[in-house]
């Protein structure tokens, strides 16, 4: 029983972090039909930035979020203006090609800047835990999950209560109508892409504390994140959160009760099952079914 509860605790904590990581990916897809395969590479780039801030300037990686987030926002905006905007009107598959190329470029650049060795930010709390009775709550995961919840809440408020948020949602529902009611489609798309990339600022900072990483680490992250947003419903933010929590718990339960060997296969099994049983995902709107196929 203790083992079960502990597995659920660990699963939910890591699921909260996954939710943040997946949010940017699903936001970008929902609004502009771009599958940003470079999101994993951007995440690792943000992790390197957070590591440098911690290593060279002594800034705690989780506090460094206030620096890495705007930095990634600007980078996302520039990336959109230089490359992604030319995808407009092309099928989503083209975006996979383009962003995969971007991911390779970013991986190479990180190798040059930080070398291909492992880096890990180890602030005091990185290996400490809170204890409550028989259970333990790793501090890094608790803080990481807290930051993730905070950033997700801000993102949700932005989408729900600001003009930009309404424009983003309008764009994700129907581009033509949005344009008709006066939404500057290009401008909003650029901002959405930048916001989506900005979420990697917080996500990467958390990763830098949780796991050692190197430039090549992005492949495993992008596959997990794609699994989450397919599960949740591509383009759906609440879906990404639910998908992430489910995946986090499924991974820890599998590692505890079946075998760790199967835990990393969980995202792929999830994708297969979802595509077979409910192609639009848990919270994907029927409207989006055309692009989920």
Total length of the chain? 293
Q: Minimal distance in Å, beta carbon 49 to another protein?
A: 17
Q: Minimal distance in Å, beta carbon 280 to another protein?
A: 14
The answer to whether residue 107 forms part of the interface with another protein (CB under 8 A) is yes
Closest to another protein by CB, 14 vs 31, is 14
253/59 Cα distance (integer angstroms): 35
102/58 Cα distance (integer angstroms): 30
φ/ψ of residue 264, rounded to 5: -75, -10
Scanning 76-84, 89-97, 187-195, 231-239 for contacts with another protein by CB under 8 A, the matching segment is 89-97
The answer to whether residue 265 forms part of the interface with another protein (CB under 8 A) is yes
Instruction: Choose which of 93, 163, 176, 277 interacts with another protein (CB under 8 A).
Output: 93
CB 10 within 8 A of CB 136: no
The answer to whether residue 122 forms part of the interface with another protein (CB under 8 A) is yes
The answer to whether residue 127 forms part of the interface with another protein (CB under 8 A) is yes
Bridge partners, residue 135, by sequence? 132
CA-based torsion, 103, 104, 107, 110: positive or negative: negative
CB 155 within 8 A of CB 23: yes
The answer to whether residue 142 forms part of the interface with another protein (CB under 8 A) is no
φ/ψ of residue 132, rounded to 5: -140, 105
Scanning 5-13, 180-188, 236-244, 281-289 for contacts with another protein by CB under 8 A, the matching segment is 5-13
33/185 Cα distance (integer angstroms): 13
Q: Minimal distance in Å, beta carbon 213 to another protein?
A: 8
List for the chain the helix, strand, coil content (%; round to 5): 80, 5, 20
CB 11 within 8 A of CB 220: no
Site string for another protein, 12-51 (x = CB under 8 A): --x-------------------------------------
Q: Minimal distance in Å, beta carbon 266 to another protein?
A: 11
The answer to whether residue 272 forms part of the interface with another protein (CB under 8 A) is no
31/14 Cα distance (integer angstroms): 26
SS3 for 138? strand
Site string for another protein, 150-189 (x = CB under 8 A): ----------------------------------------
**In the structure encoding, which two tokens stand for residue 76, read together?**
């996302």
Sites of contact with another protein (CB under 8 A): 3, 6-7, 10-11, 14, 91-94, 96-97, 100-101, 104, 107-108, 111, 115-120, 122, 126-129, 131, 136, 138, 140-141, 210-217, 219-220, 251-253, 255-256, 259-261, 263-265, 293
């Amino acid at each position: 029983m203790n083992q079960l509860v502990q597995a659920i605790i660990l699963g939910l904590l890591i699921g909260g972090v996954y939710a943040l990581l997946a949010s940017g990916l699903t936001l970008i897809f929902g609004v502009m039909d771009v599958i940003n395969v470079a999101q994993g590479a951007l995440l690792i780039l943000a992790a390197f930035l957070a590591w440098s801030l911690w290593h060279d300037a002594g800034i705690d990686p989780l506090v460094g979020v206030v620096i890495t987030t705007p930095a990634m926002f600007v980078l996302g905006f520039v990336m959109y203006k230089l490359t992604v905007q030319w995808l407009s009107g092309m099928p989503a598959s083209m975006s996979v090609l383009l962003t995969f190329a971007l991911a390779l470029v970013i991986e190479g650049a990180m190798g040059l800047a930080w070398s291909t060795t492992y880096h890990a930010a180890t602030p005091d709390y990185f290996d400490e835990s809170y204890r409550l009775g028989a259970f333990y709550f790793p501090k890094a995961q608790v803080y990481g999950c807290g930051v993730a919840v905070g950033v997700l809440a801000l993102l949700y408020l932005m989408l729900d209560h600001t003009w930009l948020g309404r424009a983003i949602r309008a764009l994700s529902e129907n581009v033509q109508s949005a344009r008709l009611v006066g939404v500057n489609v290009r401008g909003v798309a650029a901002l959405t892409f930048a916001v989506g990339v900005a979420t990697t600022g917080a996500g990467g900072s958390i990763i830098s504390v949780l796991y050692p990483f190197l430039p090549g680490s992005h492949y495993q992250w992008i596959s997990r994140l794609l699994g989450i947003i397919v599960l949740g419903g591509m383009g759906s933010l609440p879906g990404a959160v639910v998908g992430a929590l489910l995946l986090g718990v499924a991974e820890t339960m599998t590692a505890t009760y079946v075998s760790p060997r199967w835990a990393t296969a969980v995202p792929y099994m999830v994708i297969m099952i979802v595509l077979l049983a409910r192609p639009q995902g848990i919270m994907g709107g029927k409207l989006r079914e055309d692009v989920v196929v």
